[in-house]
Amino acid sequence: MLSRQHNFYLQFLQLVDALIITVSLFAAHVLRFFILNQLNWFGDNPLQPQFGNCYWMIALALPLGPLALEYTGFYQTHPPVPWFRVVGRIMWALTLLLIAFFTCVVVFYIPGSTVSHTALAIFFVLATALLLARSALFHYWLKQRGTRAHLRQYVLLCGVGEENERWKKRFLSQPGRNFEVKAEFDLRKEGLGRFVETLHDEAVDIVVFSLDETSLPQVQEALLACEAEGVEAWISADFIQTLVAHVQFDQYAGQPLLIYRTTPTISWELVAKRVMDVVGAAILLILASPFMLVIAFLIRFSSAGPVIFSQNRSGLHGRSFRMYKFRSMVTNAEQARAELEALNEMSGPVFKVKNDPRVTPLGAWLRRTSLDELPQLWNVLQGEMSLVGPRPLPLYETASFGDVTQRRRMSVRPGLTCLWQVRGRSKISDFKDWVRLDLEYIDRWSLWLDFMILLRTIPVVLFGWGAK
């Protein structure tokens, strides 16, 4: 399935699924508080209608529902998935949504008695059934679409035998299967004249060119012929091999481009990530401001030196920015670092020491609870950092990277928390393992992954797990 078609289907289905989840939540509360009460299902003690929680749950489920379904792989269409795995993915996504509901109840102190467990159980069953029905209908529609002759598209393959066979398998493996290979053609042997005749004889809709270093002149002429006749042309240029980059076609100032990206391209998810950064950082700054004033007072009167420590760090693609922290060390900590190099417990360019003598008593507590990082919320508001992303390193550490691939961790905006912080921190002593976790985050990135990392950061901060 072409990426633009896939993205259209995905966004449309996510919208439909958000509507299904909304309707299921509302219907579950209606069933619980009206129909079951009227049927005297609960005896002589029926509950009064309580729709307040239904509304905030709907507001939360609208964005989180489709994200949870995407996280569990519900939208995967290739390869085909057995129905019982589809049910499992739906149930797992809805379970994550219920966890988010109950997390809000705990965090925002919503009285538990007003949350109807019966309504949520009805919602779980109803949403599972409706989402499964929607999935079955969509796949049935795709299958039927592939059988309709007027929707079928005839393809001419222009390439060598092995590459043509690979393209046949790709077409057959896609849901819908509305592509039919009508003929195969070798431009280098048969020439442009015979190519144009084949277009006419087979009533071709699409030509797939398998481009290599030697066939460019012939393909250029054939492309002009396709353009003249209004036939769609695809160019497979996989002779340029990459390991992790995603290839996209775009244009700038009218110039066509093949773009190789290793990071997510601009999308509504990235926009939502930035909105989450700004709103989350603003709320946390407001809520934490009284506590931050207390911390500032304690630092000011417990040791000599400024309250805020600032340092140039490497941001997006290595750009320098000024990062802020509550001071947790003595004022000459940077000068004393050279004397402690022999105690470094982290292999590679990063400097980490357990029981660092430069850390003040108050600073040790601030580091253990990660409260020294609170001023970085200002960096998040400024757009220099994100709530979730690889931790920014000092300029002198990134300048010492021994492996050029380590710089790929700087291909996204740095963050307050990341996989490294929720999966180890002090347990990781090799910088290569740190980089591996950062690259895993970059390659797997989604809004749901950010949300899960933020949730897992809460106990890490509260209990000081893994901090040095």
Answer whether 206's CB lies under 8 Å from 232's CB: yes
Q: What pLDDT band is residue 251 in, cutting at 50, 70 and 90?
A: low
User: Over the chain, what is the mean pLDDT?
Assistant: 81
Burial label, 73 (beta-carbon count in 10 A; 0-12, 13-18, 19+): middle
Which pLDDT does position 335 carry in this prediction?
74
Q: Tell me the pLDDT tens digit for each residue of 142-193.
A: 777 666 655 677 888 887 767 778 888 877 776 656 777 888 888 777 888 8
Phi then psi for residue 322, to 5 deg, are -90, 115
The predicted-structure confidence for 66-118, as pLDDT tens digits, reads as follows 988 988 888 876 667 788 888 999 999 999 999 888 887 776 666 544 677 88
Lowest mean pLDDT among 239-253, 292-306, 317-331: 239-253
What type of residue sits at position 269?
A: E
Domain assignments of the chain as residue spans, ordered by start: 3-146, 152-241, 268-463
Residue 150: predicted pLDDT? 57
Of 157, 24, 135, whose CA–CA distance to 88 is shortest?
Answer: 135
The torsion angles phi and psi of 57, rounded to 5 degrees, stand at -65, -40
pLDDT at 111: 55
Quote the pLDDT of residue 125: 94
- On the question of pLDDT at 340 being above 80, the answer is no
Alpha carbon distances (Å) from 456 to 211, 288, 371: 47, 19, 16
The whole-number pLDDT of residue 378 equals 95
Q: What is the pLDDT of residue 199?
A: 82
Q: Which residue has the tokens 């895993």?
A: 440
Model confidence, pTM: 0.63
How far does CA 367 lie from the centroid of its chain? 28
Residue-level pLDDT at 318: 82
- Contact indicator for 80, 175 with CB cutoff of 8 Å: yes
What crossing angle do the helices spanning 117-147 and 3-30 adopt, rounded to 10°? 150
pLDDT band at 310 (very low <50, low <70, confident <90, very high): very high
Most confident range (mean pLDDT) of 174-178, 211-215, 405-409 is: 405-409
| Mean predicted confidence (pLDDT) in 309-322 | 89
Confirm if 388 and 447 have CB atoms less than 8 A apart: no
pLDDT tens readout for residues 105-156: 776 666 544 677 888 899 999 999 999 999 989 888 877 766 665 567 788 8
Q: What is the mean pLDDT of residues 58-69?
A: 89
Confidence of residue 1 (pLDDT cuts 50, 70, 90): very low
Cα dist from 219 to 121, 186, 208, 235, whole Å: 60, 10, 10, 9
Could you say which architecture CATH assigns to the domain 152-241? 3-Layer(aba) Sandwich (3.40)
Q: Is residue 95 within a helix (H) or strand (E), and if so which, with residue range?
A: helix 83-107
Say if residues 231 and 222 touch (Cβ distance below 8 Å).
no
